[in-house]
């Protein structure tokens, strides 16, 4: 248990960096006009395919692992 307590901060730091990288690698179709509430002629949904879909699932998994490690840190 003491080993986990010492190792958990490093696991959380690593997971947080991986989540940030995964989020930043995702393509954003919203331009600067969308950030300020302007319309940019959004024509409908966008289907994720290939690497974009894989990266999306990796981001979700890494986020869930980070949340789980946070709850473990609260319990310990």
- Sorted by sequence, the CB contacts under 8 Å of residue 23 that are 6+ apart come out as 59
In this structure, is residue 19 part of a structural domain? yes
Asked, for residue 8, whether it belongs to a domain, the answer is yes
Judge whether 32 lies within some domain. no
Query: pLDDT by residue (tens digit) across 54-66?
Result: 999 999 999 999 9
Q: Is residue 66 part of a domain?
A: yes
- The answer to the question of residue 10 being in a domain is yes
User: Is residue 37 in a domain?
Assistant: no
Q: Write out the residue range of the structural domain in which residue 18 sits.
A: 1-26+48-76
Note the pTM of the prediction, 2 decimals: 0.75
Query: Tokens standing for 3?
Result: 């080993």
The model's pLDDT over 5-34, given as tens digits with 9 standing for 90+, comes to 999 999 999 999 999 999 999 987 665 555
The rounded distance, in Å, linking the Cα atoms of 36 and 22 is 24
């Amino acid at each position: 248990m003491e080993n986990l307590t010492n190792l958990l901060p490093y696991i959380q730091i690593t997971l947080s960096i991986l989540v940030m990288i995964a989020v930043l690698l995702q393509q954003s179709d919203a331009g600067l006009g969308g950030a300020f509430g302007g319309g940019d002629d959004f024509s409908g949904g966008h289907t994720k395919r290939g690497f974009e879909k894989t990266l999306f699932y990796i981001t979700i998994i890494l986020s869930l692992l980070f949340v789980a490690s946070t709850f473990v840190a609260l319990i310990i």
